[in-house]
Structure 1
Amino acid sequence: MNFHAFHPEDDLQDHGTRSCLEPFTVIHPVRNLTPPIRLNGKVIQQWRPARVVEWIDPGTGEIVSDTEYRRRFGKPVYRSERALQRTYVLGKLRPEARAFAQYILKFRNLRRGITPPVSTLVKWYADLTGQRAANVRRMVPTLTAARIIESDTLVGTLWQQSGAQAHASSFLQENARAAVAQAVMWMKRRDQRRCNRGDRARPAWLAQRLPPSIILAKSHAL
């Protein structure tokens, strides 16, 4: 059984940013990680995260229990732990499946899912990368097994985002934002392909006026 201990401040950065309260009493209970995390090449399945049980207002000296803190500001999120777990899950995927997963996660919405659905993103990704949609679709079961996606419109709990303060209008704009994001990625890929065409044959008139960059580099080196 793997075990690891962390400095309290590593995990409290996000815990106290929602108010002026500061940690007062901190404990380190043993916590099982599912999925695990990887640190310094070792898989960690159990650790001691810092857990605040009392908070203090440095201005007034008021001590607030963690129960009261959660009632006022909501449940604290230990983002460093979740980030490490996400890195571990993505690191176990093949490079092509990892790239597809990272692409899908760019379209997460604030309703614990993705917009548009996976079936549409498969076609978009195929168009973006020049692959067949059927080949891209074969990676969907892999992402489902890794709990990155749960259904055509829902991502796994480790990847979900929720917007309690989001307005209804923001939900109506999800499809438009997704379309813009896809268009931007497509244009960047198109420009990258244009820049990589230096090894192709050039028209005679262009070759005379502007030699390939590699020839120019050698001439400057001389």
Structure 2
Amino acid sequence: MHILLVEDDHKAARLLARGLEEEGFAVTVAHTAAEASSHAHAMWRFDMAILDWMLPAKDGVALCAEWRQAQHQLPVLMLTARDAVADRIVGLNTGADDYLTKPFAFDELLARIRALLRRAVRAQHGILQVADLTLDPATRAVNRAGERLDLTPKEYAILELLMRHTGAVVTRQQLAEHVWHADLIAIDNLMDVHLKNLRRKVDPAGLPTLITTVRGRGFLLAQPEGGDA
């Protein structure tokens, strides 16, 4: 899971990012609203945002409102020293999904993050299906032709991204950013290994091929020729 952390206190941001990474999250840190907004073209990379209310120039409430107006639906957890009920109402009405008052226990932050992510999974479009391949985001169960597929976490992440873009080419750079949270150059060869293993499981001999390589562009998961739309 990839979190966008927007916090202007560099020390606090560094400590939070380190703690979250130790818990298995990937974290991208922004220290200002402008820096956070620079990621707007690729908000699909993030699973949620942790947003500090008190930011320089443009505060977290204004940034959250801007995201919602742009139809960015990622879950937002607002952090603030403001503990008045009226302030909480402002933050939530702006579009934040949850609100945590500083100072807070790191364990409580983790619990709220996990609760938001669970809710986000349940709010997604349910089971994804292409031909006889199904993927359940809530349980992470994947089946092909009625058989359960045993996927590694990376293989699952690749397949989910491909299925959420069924019929469209997913570029190698998109996969690098979404699955590895890294630049393509760093993991190009590793990606090929994971794709080869995934395709061996998803497209075994005797079944129509669902995942294809689009030379020079990336990868495509689509209904097999002659399959139902």
Coarse TM-score class (shorter-chain normalised): under 0.3
**TM-score with structure 2 setting the length:** 0.27
**More helix per residue: 1 or 2?**
1
Q: Which has the higher contact order (CA 8 A, sep 6+)?
A: 1
**More strand per residue: 1 or 2?**
2
**TM-score with structure 1 setting the length:** 0.27
